[in-house]
Structure 1
Amino acid sequence: MADQQPDTDPASLGPVRDTAADRRSIPNLHEIAQAAADKHGECRRPIPMYTYDPDTGDTKYVGAPCKSTLENVCPSCAAKARSLRMQQAHEGWHIETEPVDIKRDPTQHQLEVVETRASLMTNYQEAKASGDQDMMAGIREVVSDVDADLRETGGRGRLPALDPEPKSERKRSTRRRQDVPDLPRKKIDKATIGRQYAGKYRPSMFITLTLDSYALDSYGKINRDGATNADGKPCSDGSAADPDSYDYRRAAEQPSSIAARRPTR
């Protein structure tokens, strides 16, 4: 009797069981989604934000970018943050000294163009005095080309018009009361860099917060929505009811240092 050959067909052996190493080598759905986000330049881990449309009353969740600055966390947000920092550095956001404005001297071509325009201005006034309309129209066309040439050379400022319009008297829409003292004027420094705090901090904006209370401490009473002052006039929501007694310093210092004083086990 002939020997029977073993059946080597994989299908006849049943399903092949994957090993743990094989399963670990297969990308999971989370990794596939991250790869798709990287391919299209989108955020890897968007943060769901609850939004409300006051016009339609609709509410929905939208994905907001995580804005991470680490490339291993989110390459798309890190690239956008790097591009923003480069733009800010180019605009001078991080400079520590005042920028020096180096004014360039007028070029020979600019001087010639200005002299030509001055001559045309004189000729135009003479033609206007004699009533030569054709000459005036021709000079207008030439002056228009001269002005365009002067703009292309990099000149700035307003050029005098051939026929200046009479200036109308400026009238204020609201007049200041004459029975009250003038508002104090603070001298403005010709500087672009703000004040430096604590030797190393130079914020671009400084705000003061009014808090009714924090934990067991009270800084002072603040006005709620619909509050009125002693004269019966409405007060702004969140303003201190008594600015003289409100402890602004402790209200600003304590919340910022509460993390350092948090009890630990």
Structure 2
Amino acid sequence: MTNGADRTLPRLVRDTMPLVLDVAIEIAKSNGVCIRPIEVRRQDVLTGKIEPFDLPCGTTQEAKCPPCAKRNQQLRKAQCREGWHLDHEPTADPAAATDEQRWLVEFRADVQAKRDQAEEDVEDWDAAIVAIDAEINVAGMRGNLLGRRQIAKRTRSTRRRQDAPDLPKRTRRPTTLGRAFTSPQGQVYRPSMFVTLTLPSYGKIRQGVPADPSSYDYRRAARDALHFSKLVDRFVQNLRRVAGYDVQYFASVEPQKRLAPHLHMAIRGTLPRAEMKQIAAATYHQVWWPPADEVKYDRENLPVWSDEDGYLDPATGEILPTWDQALDDLEEPQHVVRFGEQADVQGVLAGSPAANKALGYLTKYLTKSLGDPLDHDDEGDQARRDHVTRMVDALRYEPCSPTCPNWLRYGVQPKDAKRGMTPGHCRGKAHRPEHLGYAGRRVLVSRKWSNKTLREHKQDRRAWALELLGLDDPAANDRHRYIWCPVSGSDPTRTTRAEQLLRGIARRQQFRASLLALEARATGEPPPTLSAMKGEVAA
């Protein structure tokens, strides 16, 4: 929208003027304010006052919101640094039950007893039990009263493959700490490890693209990427068997230039390098899925749906094998995933330059998506764009899970098949170009790493800021005091995005001014002026 003064300017001048919203977004970025805030309203049940609040979007991708991505990256850095070189055993004792949690369980027992004695209105009692169970599940307790359902599992032989070397094994010790070494001067060192593992070669690579695309094994590359997360799980299992203690780790998955995922892992404790490479060489994951090499149904000849029997052959009307039937007929795995020969193992000491460098490697690309290299292709880099296209095409029809519609292309009904499934149109995460076949988590953290969840690390940062400013957190003292209500996008009273950004910028500048005032008070210097703060923000 333009004002009267703008209308008097030539059209060419007006077209080159910056947009107000774009300027607000840039200022928000420079101040560390979320550029995609989520508006909610907070009502104080004691006073009845209603206040608008802007919650950060919380994305981890820099392309969507740089301030939130940077904030999450810093949290991951703190989490990695805090747990890497622990010299004491982390405690993981569960917290004591609150009065509300105890009352819910006791009330549940009383209702169950009355239900067992009831001779009528049993359905009403069952509905009440379901409602109480729902409240128990959100009351901050792990698990549930009903336990896990006993589901019959398909078992396979656990004998190691003949083409995989055997692994050494140590007596397991109940600890998460590695060996400690004492120097002649009496100083105690507790080294850790930084490990990098990659997938094998699929063909000769030159500057990130295949030297000969016709001989490059795109099918194997796609399948390895799809099952890479399972291979990492196997590596951790083997590592704990060999190490003899409860190994704790912090790992991140990143894309290589050739578009294959690879792993950076920080490990507490140390093992010989030769032994670590032996573990990587002996680690594999067998994919016990039906064969997916021979195409039986193409686009013009797809199976047809029957409400009674599922998918049928379009020519003969025969019922396609179900997922369980296809698994019953398997005699060998569809695919075996292994690491490549390159395994980099480094010893790291706490506080050393090598530790800081490794920490940077672990968190460097957490704000990028696996497909970010696709967005930075040069205009003349046709070979790389073609490599990306071939990789995406190889992933399009590769089954990503038992429920993937692509199984119809190979003559098998997907697990839990339903009407409307079409090969090549799976909505699974692995098929999206920005994920390049890897559908697992980007950050892998063991439970006893820092003895804190990411949410607890956030609470620590919040508590530090409130304590520094000398403020109380009323929400922590009485969590029932406020009622939070989301604001619908169709709400006519919804705050515009520009106003949200301005509100966030103002609050961030007030917070920064308070911190600078505290620092000035501690050093005995006069508090900074508004112009000085603007200069600090610009810097």
Greater C-alpha Rg: 1
Same fold (TM over 0.5): no
Specify the TM-score bucket, using the shorter chain as the normaliser. Answer: 0.3 to 0.5
* Structure with greater helix percent: 2
* Structure with greater strand percent: 2
